[in-house]
Structure 1
């Protein structure tokens, strides 16, 4: 009779269990309201407008997920501001608190460039910080403000 390798069977079982857990969590959080996105056709928010899960915004090869964003207040969106006056340290701006913009180096008469990452990245990713540091010094007359949108799930 052949020998039975217990270690091999346990590793196969662990791999299968891990696969099932990943599938469960992805399915559960994608389809439930506890995920930062909820399924539907359209959602509207007073401060930023409406979003649809129809083409070309979703359901395509490039954007295969048909999900709608959470309310911005629930996500906790903020902006990291880099300017010529603060090229190495960002200032945090909150759309829900205008005083953060008033107290910052933001100038409405200067051109503003937004560096926007995908929903799987964060605002402190090194490539985003590098882009913000290079931009203001490369053309200080034409470009003085950088904003990076980040998301902090509450």
Structure 2
């Protein structure tokens, strides 16, 4: 963002955005360490990792880290947790290159991924249902703008 754009943002707008995001995070349940906002008893980072692997079918640990925007060491710990719970397995990616290791969901990981996907969809439906129909596109557009603005 350029300096010119920064000067047009008031302190009260910054305060309002901060209070709004903090309030949303709390109401949505993102601050609960061991429960997803959709009510599945696992951490948000585990849920995101399962979702990325499940959506892709398989991922390298490096690709998972890039998708989640997490450091290498954080992804290593996260994958360790997923392996410990038997939600993912490591497979050799290519017969001719033993260095490539892919993460894939196990049977229990696939079941959890399905449960998580449905719970998330149900939660999003209930959330969007509470937004007046005439304002839904505005909310979705604002969310897209905020997401783009958050990208560094």
Q: Which has the higher helix share?
A: 2
**TM-score normalized with structure 2 length:** 0.26
Larger strand percent: 1
State the structure with more CA Rg: 1
Q: Return the structure number with greater relative CO, CA threshold 8 A, min gap 6.
A: 1
TM-score by length of 1: 0.26
